[in-house]
Amino acid sequence: MKLKHYELGKLEQEKLIKGIQASLAVPFIDSVEDYVWEAIFCYFKGIELVDVLSSTRKKYLFDVVDEKNRIGWS
């Protein structure tokens, strides 16, 4: 049984690499963790990222939630 939500397609792999490279190019980001990782994950999965400066985060069991496909990741 294949779980398509847990495998990265070629485009997702490329976007993951670009996201990590972009984040590490910012001088004050020294590692990919916490909110930086969540932002990259949302980018390559095509999920809307919650802007913590302008909106309130909902309490979810997972850090990143794809409401459309009803799947979450931590």
* pLDDT tens digit sequence for 10-51: 998 999 999 989 998 998 888 888 878 888 888 888 888 777
**Residue 72 or 13, more confident:** 13
Query: Amino acid letter at 45?
Result: K
Question: Residue 1 pLDDT more than 60?
Answer: no
What contacts 24+ positions apart, CB below 8 Å, involve 6-11?
8/44
Does the predicted TM-score (pTM) go above 0.85? no
